[in-house]
Amino acid sequence: MQQNKLMKRTAIYCILFVLTAMGVMLYYSANKIVVVADVAQDEVIQSAQENQKSTLTAVVDKNAITIDRGRQNTNYFCIPMPEAVRAEEVTLENHYMDQELWVNIQGDMADYDTFYEINSVYGNSENVLDGHFEVEDSRIYLRFSLAGVYEYRSIFEGQTLYVEFVPSKEVYEKIIVVDPAYGASVNGVAIEGVKAKDITLDIAKALKAKFDETDIKVYYTRMDDSNPAPENRVNLAAATKADMLIRIEVNGNENSKLYGTESVYNSRYFIPGFGSVELADILEREVVTAISGKANGLVEASETDYVIGAATVPAAAVKVGYLTNGQESILLQRKDYINRIAEGIYNAVMKAYEGEV
C-alpha cells in the first residue's frame, strides 16, 4: 500500500513538472524572447562594409531616428521593430572603431523607412548620441552613434529589440588591442608594388585566426584597407581598458643592407610591473625566436610614434623586418613567414598573461 502511494505521488510530480516545463516553453515561444546574433567589426564582410559606408554617409541627415529621451524607465535601449520582422532577421554589428552600433534587419523592406520616420526609439539612451537609418536592397540599417566603446546584450521580445550596453571589462577578463599600422592612402614602406600596409594587415589576420581560439578578447583597429586616425587607435585601448596595445609595423631604410626586428616602447609613461618596456622586450624575443631572425633590440618611441607615445596602457610596436632589404622583402611576402611572425606575437601575449615576462 505504501509503495502504491509513493508511485502515485511520483507520477503526479512528474506530470506537474512536464506541465510546468511546457508552460514555460509556450510562454517564451509566444513572447518570442530570443537573443539576437551579433558580430564584431572585424567580422563584418569588407565589401559590404565599404558599400554601407558610401551609401549611409550621403543620407544620414534626412533619415534621422527620433530618440525619445523622456522614456527612461528601463535599463535597456529599446528599438521597436516592424510587425513582419522576425528575430532571426536581426543582427547587431559592433563598429567599435567608429563607436557605432548598427542594427541590420533583413527581409522585405516595404514601409520600413516610413516605420522609422514615425516610430521613435526609447529607454536607456544615455550612451546613444544619435541615430539614422538607411534602406539598402533587401535590408535596412539602423546606425547609432555612441558615447564610447561597448559590448552588447540583447533580446527580441514583442516586436521590440532590447539592447543593454556593457563595458568591455565586464564581459572579458583579458583584452588586448592589435593595431596593424598604415592603411588606405598611407602605404608605409613600399617597394616594387609591395606595401607595408598589406603586410601588417596579413599579420593581423593571421593573429585573429589564433586568438579566436582563446578566451582573450582582441580588438583590431583595422581589418581592411582603412586608415583610422592615430587618436582613434589610441582611444580604442583606453575605452576598452585593454591590458596591452600591440602595434605592427614594417621597417625601411636607404641602407638596403639593414635587416632584422626591433621593438618600440613608450619611455614617457611608466607602468610598474608589466609596462611598455616589458611588452616590447617579450615581443622582440618571441618574434625573433619564431622567425629565427636577428634582434636589433628595443628603441624608445620618438615624436613620430604617436600611437605608442600617447597610449596609457602597456604599448609597444614590433617592426617585423626591413622591406628595403632584398632578402627580408622576399620573406615578408611569404604566407608561412607571416604566420611565424603572428606565432611570435601570439606567444608573447600568452607568456605575458602567464607572468613569464
Average confidence (pLDDT) over 297-324 = 96
pLDDT of residue 356: 58
Half-sphere exposure of 220 (CA within 13 A, CB side): 26
pLDDT band at 43 (very low <50, low <70, confident <90, very high): confident
**Percent of the chain topping pLDDT 70:** 83
For 312-333, what is the mean pLDDT?
97
Q: Read off the pLDDT of each residue in 265-291 and give the average, rounded to a whole number.
A: 93
| All residues at 6 or more sequence positions from 46 whose CB lies less than 8 Å from its CB, including other chains | 223, 224
Cα–Cα dist 128/334, whole Å: 44
Name the pTM for this structure: 0.86
Q: Which three cell numbers, joined as nine digits, stand for 87? A: 528575430
205 pLDDT above the threshold of 50: yes
Question: What is the maximum alpha-carbon separation in the chain?
Answer: 99
Confidence at 9, pLDDT banded by 50, 70, 90? low
Burial of 222 (0-12, 13-18, 19+ CB in 10 A): buried
Q: What is the pLDDT of residue 314?
A: 96
pLDDT exceeds cutoff 80 at 279: yes
Question: Is the per-residue pLDDT at 260 higher than 80?
Answer: yes
pLDDT digits (tens, 9 = 90+) for 184-200: 999 999 999 999 999 99
Residue 31 in this model has a pLDDT that exceeds 70: no
Q: Which three cell numbers stand for residue 206?
A: 593571421
Q: What is the pLDDT of residues 64-92, one digit of tens each?
A: 999 999 988 899 999 999 998 999 999 99
Q: What is the pLDDT of residue 216?
A: 98
Residue carrying C-alpha cell 550596453: 165
Q: How are beta strands 244-251 and 217-220 bridged, if at all?
A: unpaired
- What average pLDDT score do residues 316-341 get? 98
What the block records as the C-alpha cell of 123 is 529607454
Q: Which amino acid is at 60?
A: V
Distance of CA 268 to the CA centre of its chain: 28
Q: Nearest CA to 243 among 215, 279, 208?
A: 279
> What are the cell numbers at 235?
582611444
